[in-house]
């Protein structure tokens, strides 16, 4: 690599064990000042550990950190921030009920007579905000601000502390495409003002579009460091996974059968309070068996409400009018359990809240929803032998690692959590599959796997409804695409019948 500069950040032979695992085994990383440097790798590859060490929340077992060529040893984030290194966490470090201003100045309060000098802080922040083009309403409580603005506040927090090196951990995981764009515009602006940015992500697309250099992690080691302009997504993906990865799986054309899997007619959900906009208005759609219908849209345009209304149609909080049919049965008055017993598999939008028992062993998450299956229970007692055997088999078939059934589900990586859910849901031999954000926060290898499974389910005759905020995913998998905007379906396209640009415009409501 080029040696003609003093690295803004340099990690030299950094090692750290976490329990029995070498989370980092001799990491070397050099970041050129004034660049956006991508750090990619699968979940559990050690990039988070390295970053935790870099901003002081963890200490290395061996190895050194150099900032601007000076060796640094620190024991807390305070030391790191004093040297100009700051981190924007994936889960924001912001307290909802308090104002943006208080959240930013926390721990670095300017004082006057022992009191917080909010006036001075505000003046400084306003100067920073206009310098970097990051306007914020300082007095509103954080919880009333959109996620994109909250992230902006996190960045301002670092600028306020005069950080020169900004680490961003999966910054786009929670953003809409529009907010993502804004973020990257802002990051480019920061770069042009001389800041150095480390971008941790596993979205290859972002790495390709916005970084100057990339370092790839795999299994606690650095497997490559390349100039972004001289690499391809395919090369990066195989560096990450350690084998060749099919980025866009070839989906054979569907052969839909005439039987309907899902039929929804006139589904509506009134908004809360009189006069407010409907969360769902008059949504009708049909998914045949043997096809994948994708719902594209920016997050928050009624997708979650649609899913809830389909699975809990009798609950007045989920549906105010309209009918839901699965497999020619009108289920509008049914309970979720009965609906699922028809052969409806669901990959929920939020796997940690809706899909898994995080604190309980993997085997129990595997049983969720299957507990009444005669194979696993009789006379109200669980048949432990059958259940454990089926779980073991499924863990193997769906490659959930590690295959330890007694481990708490929350300790699995995101990709493996998702594979566990897929394994469970596919136990039902689904005739209908509802997949919401099936690959959110999941690494490349697991994405490939889950996509394959979804397509296979289709080919075996399931009707699949796919809800995703990732355009790539929608375009790759869907046989038909519906666009949701403000609680209604505003457009429909066939596979190959729409460009990404056109779809984006429809999603934005034009």
Query: Given the rule CB under 8 A, which residues bind other proteins?
Result: 52, 57-58, 76-78, 81, 87, 89, 93-98, 102-103, 106-109, 111, 114-116
Half-sphere exposure of 309 (CA within 13 A, CB side): 29
Tell me the helix, strand and coil percentages in the chain, rounded to 5: 35, 25, 40
Residue with tokens 């129990």: 364
Check residue 463 and give left, alpha or beta (phi > 0: left; psi -120 to 50: alpha). Answer: beta
Cβ 454 vs Cβ 464: under 8 Å: yes
Residue with smaller CB distance to other proteins, 76 or 494: 76
Residue with smaller CB distance to other proteins, 97 or 275: 97
d(CA 67, CA 167): 13
Helix spans in 428-479 (H): 444-459, 471-477
Residue with smaller CB distance to other proteins, 96 or 242: 96
Check residue 461 and give left, alpha or beta (phi > 0: left; psi -120 to 50: alpha). Answer: left
Residue with smaller CB distance to other proteins, 108 or 333: 108
**Beta carbon of residue 79, minimum distance to other proteins (angstroms, whole number):** 9
**Beta carbon of residue 91, minimum distance to other proteins (angstroms, whole number):** 8
**Beta carbon of residue 110, minimum distance to other proteins (angstroms, whole number):** 9
**Beta carbon of residue 93, minimum distance to other proteins (angstroms, whole number):** 4
d(CA 436, CA 280): 17
- Residue 72 Cα distances to 9, 55, 166, 299, 370, angstroms: 10, 11, 17, 42, 53
d(CA 47, CA 24): 8
Residue with smaller CB distance to other proteins, 122 or 314: 122
Burial of 317 (0-12, 13-18, 19+ CB in 10 A): exposed
Question: How many CB atoms within 10 Å of residue 23?
Answer: 23
**Beta carbon of residue 182, minimum distance to other proteins (angstroms, whole number):** 23
Residue with smaller CB distance to other proteins, 111 or 243: 111
**Beta carbon of residue 106, minimum distance to other proteins (angstroms, whole number):** 5
Interacting residues of 447 by C-beta distance below 8 A, sequence separation 6+: 415, 439
Q: Which helix (H) or strand (E) holds 119?
A: helix 118-132
Give helix 444-459 / helix 233-241 axis angle, nearest 10°.
100
Residue with smaller CB distance to other proteins, 101 or 503: 101
Cβ 150 vs Cβ 139: under 8 Å: no
Residue with tokens 């594979």: 419
Residue with smaller CB distance to other proteins, 80 or 310: 80
**Beta carbon of residue 406, minimum distance to other proteins (angstroms, whole number):** 24
Q: Which of 370, 479, 366, 499 is nearest to 423 (CA)?
A: 366
Residue with smaller CB distance to other proteins, 114 or 374: 114
Q: Which two tokens stand for residue 23?
A: 């989370």
Interacting residues of 297 by C-beta distance below 8 A, sequence separation 6+: 303, 469, 483, 484, 485, 507
**Beta carbon of residue 305, minimum distance to other proteins (angstroms, whole number):** 24
**Beta carbon of residue 410, minimum distance to other proteins (angstroms, whole number):** 15
Residue with smaller CB distance to other proteins, 113 or 379: 113
Residue with smaller CB distance to other proteins, 114 or 275: 114
Residue with smaller CB distance to other proteins, 85 or 236: 85
């Amino acid at each position: 690599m080029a040696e003609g500069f003093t690295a803004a950040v340099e990690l030299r032979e950094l090692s750290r064990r976490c329990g029995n695992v070498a989370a980092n085994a001799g990491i070397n990383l050099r970041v050129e000042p004034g660049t956006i440097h991508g750090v990619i790798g699968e979940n559990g590859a050690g990039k988070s550990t390295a970053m935790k060490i870099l901003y002081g929340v963890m200490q290395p077992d061996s190895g050194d950190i150099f900032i601007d060529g000076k060796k640094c040893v620190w024991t807390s984030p305070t030391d790191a921030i004093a040297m100009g290194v700051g981190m924007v966490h994936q889960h924001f470090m912001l307290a909802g009920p308090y104002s943006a201003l208080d959240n930013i100045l926390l721990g670095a309060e300017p004082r006057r007579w022992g009191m917080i000098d909010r006036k001075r802080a505000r003046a400084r922040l306003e100067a920073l905000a206009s310098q970097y083009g990051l306007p914020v309403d300082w007095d509103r409580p954080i919880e009333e601000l959109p996620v994109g603005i909250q992230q902006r506040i996190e960045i301002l927090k670092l600028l306020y502390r005069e950080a020169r090196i900004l680490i961003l951990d999966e910054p786009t995981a929670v953003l809409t495409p529009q907010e993502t764009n804004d973020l990257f515009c802002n990051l480019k602006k920061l770069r042009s003002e001389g800041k150095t940015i480390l971008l941790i992500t596993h979205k290859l697309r972002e790495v390709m579009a916005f970084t100057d250099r990339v370092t790839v992690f795999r299994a606690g080691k650095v497997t490559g460091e390349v100039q972004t302009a001289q690499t391809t997504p395919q090369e990066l993906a195989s560096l990450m996974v350690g084998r060749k990865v099919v980025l866009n799986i070839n989906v054979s054309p569907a052969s839909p059968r005439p039987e309907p899997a899902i039929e929804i007619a006139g589904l509506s959900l009134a908004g809360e309070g009189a006069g407010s906009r409907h969360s769902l208005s008059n949504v009708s759609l049909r998914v045949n068996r043997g096809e994948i219908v994708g719902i594209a849209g920016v997050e928050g345009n009624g997708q979650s409400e649609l899913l809830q209304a389909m699975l809990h149609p009798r609950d007045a909080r989920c549906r105010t009018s309209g009918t839901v049919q699965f497999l020619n049965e009108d289920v509008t008055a049914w309970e979720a359990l009965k609906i699922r017993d028809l052969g409806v598999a669901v990959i929920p939008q939020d796997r940690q809240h809706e899909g898994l028992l995080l604190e309980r062993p993997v085997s129990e998450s595997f049983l969720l929803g299957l507990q009444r299956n005669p194979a696993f229970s009789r006379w109200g007692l669980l048949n432990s032998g059958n259940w454990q055997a089926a779980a073991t088999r499924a863990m193997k078939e769906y490659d959930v690692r590690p295959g330890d059934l007694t481990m708490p589900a929350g300790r699995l990586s995101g990709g493996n959590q998702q594979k566990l859910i897929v394994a469970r849901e596919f136990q039902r031999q689904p005739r209908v599959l509802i997949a919401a954000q099936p690959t959110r926060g999941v690494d490349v290898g697991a994405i490939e796997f889950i996509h394959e499974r979804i397509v296979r389910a289709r080919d075996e005759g399931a009707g699949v409804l796919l809800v995703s905020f990732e355009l790539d995913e929608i375009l790759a998998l869907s046989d038909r695409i519906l666009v949701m905007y403000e609680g209604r379906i505003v457009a429909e396209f066939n596979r190959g019948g729409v460009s990404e640009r056109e779809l984006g415009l429809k999603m934005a409501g034009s």
